[in-house]
Amino acid sequence: MNRIFRTTFAGLAVAATFIAVPALADMMNFNASLSAADEVPPTASKGSGMLDATYDSATKKLTWKGTYTGLTGAAIAAHFHGPAPAGKSAGVELAAPAPASPFSGMATLTDAQAADLIAGNVYFNVHTAANPGGEIRGQLAKAK
């Protein structure tokens, strides 16, 4: 009986080594407080807003939602920019549809874009006719 148990147990152990265990996705949450003071250079806008985003490392999908208020006019564009730390400017990494508030979206990131996001080197800004370079901006940071 003991021999049967050992043989069965050994067979199960070998079989277990061939069972694929799916990798767990690393879901990361980010947020940004959008303000005129954080634009480079700062604007005189009374606008403000919030952006919340989630990155799924398994699918490389970034999803976001946000709101803003008090802009000088309608939003004409919105973008994720990088790589750049707070206080520095960078090119567009990902265009977002010109959002009416509230807004949301989704995109698949490249490996470089994901690395910039995780490193804290991505910011989001909203552009208006009065501030075509950006009226409000916020640096994306990992949510705590």
Share above pLDDT 90 across residues of the chain, in percent, rounded to a whole number: 78
Place 99 in a pLDDT band, splitting at 50, 70 and 90.
Answer: confident
Q: What is the pTM of this model?
A: 0.82
- Whole-number pLDDT of residue 127: 96
Written out in words, the top-level CATH class of the domain with range 24-142 is mainly beta
- Whole-number pLDDT of residue 138: 98
Secondary structure (DSSP) of 84-116 = --TT----EEEEE--PPSSEEEEEEPPHHHHHH
- Who's near 9: CB < 8 A, 6+ residues apart? none
Tokens at 76, concatenated? 């004409």
pLDDT in tens, 53-63: 999 999 999 99
Give dist(CA 52, CA 37) in Å, integer.
19
